Amino acid sequence: MFVGRFHGPIERIESRQTFNFELSTLDGKTPFAVKIELINTGSELMLGRVLNTHQQWIGRQLADRGYVVTRQVSVPDVGSDIQQVVREALSQADLVIATGGLGPTSDDITRDLVAELLGKKLREDAVALANVESFFAIRKRPMPAQTRVQALVPEGAIVLQNRHGTAPGLAIHSVRKARRAG
């Protein structure tokens, strides 16, 4: 999930949505550098049972393109912890990338919490739902009912197709700071 103050066009290409953030780098040719923060959610990361390959891959992809991650945080699947780090990141970064929390299980709460912090309602996206249904149909397996939650997206979000699984990525343009939930 990407959240931030993006500069540049948002394009739709071949029924897949993509985006171009026109991020500035630290190459000396631009007047400013983008502050990028990475948030990895998942209790399994905190327990050391799973290697955080998301952080490594995203950090390398950004670095190879001249960008610098200014802060990287891992948090357990606890609502208050996720809200706190997302709120902090939104107050100081231009782009926030969050991994985890978009799936169908009860501990996948990042999507819901970010929508709440940004004051956005969740809505079912027909294309995202069709992709989830197709994933199971191709494998000739019934789609578990709870999997449908992956088609819920915050209003105004760009849905990023997932070619390897069922949970789509999300990009959300935010020009305001996250508000306190509750």
What is d(CA 41, CA 38) in angstroms, rounded to the nearest whole number?
Answer: 10
**Residue 10: predicted pLDDT:** 37
**What share of the chain has pLDDT > 70, as a percent?**
78
The pLDDT of residue 84: 95
pLDDT at 13: 29
Lowest mean pLDDT among 30-34, 52-56, 92-96, 133-137: 30-34
Alpha helices in 67-125 (DSSP H): 79-92, 110-118
| Contact residues for 22 (Cβ-Cβ < 8 A; gap 6+) | 6, 7, 8
User: Is the Cβ–Cβ distance between 100 and 58 less than 8 Å?
Assistant: no
Q: pLDDT band at 182, cuts 50/70/90?
A: very low
Q: Please give the residue that has the higher pLDDT: either 166 or 180.
A: 166
pLDDT confidence of residue 113 = 93
Residues 39-50 pLDDT 10s: 999 999 999 888
- pLDDT tens digits for 61-115? 888 888 889 999 999 999 999 999 999 999 999 899 999 888 888 888 999 999 9
The DSSP bridge pattern shows strands 36-41 and 2-4 to be unpaired
Q: For position 104, what pLDDT does the model report? A: 86
Q: Where are the beta strands (DSSP E) in 8-75?
A: 10-13, 16-19, 36-41, 69-75
Please report, rounded to a whole number, the percentage of residues in the chain having pLDDT higher than 90: 50
**Ordered domains of the chain (ranges, CATH):** 2-173 (3.40.980.10)
Task: Tell me: pLDDT of 161 over 90.
Answer: no
Q: Which residue has the tokens 């999930």?
A: 1
Q: Which of 53-67, 116-130, 154-168 has the highest mean pLDDT?
A: 116-130
**What per-residue confidence (pLDDT) applies to 30?**
55
pLDDT of residue 140: 96
d(CA 95, CA 100): 17
Residues 22-47 have a mean pLDDT of: 74
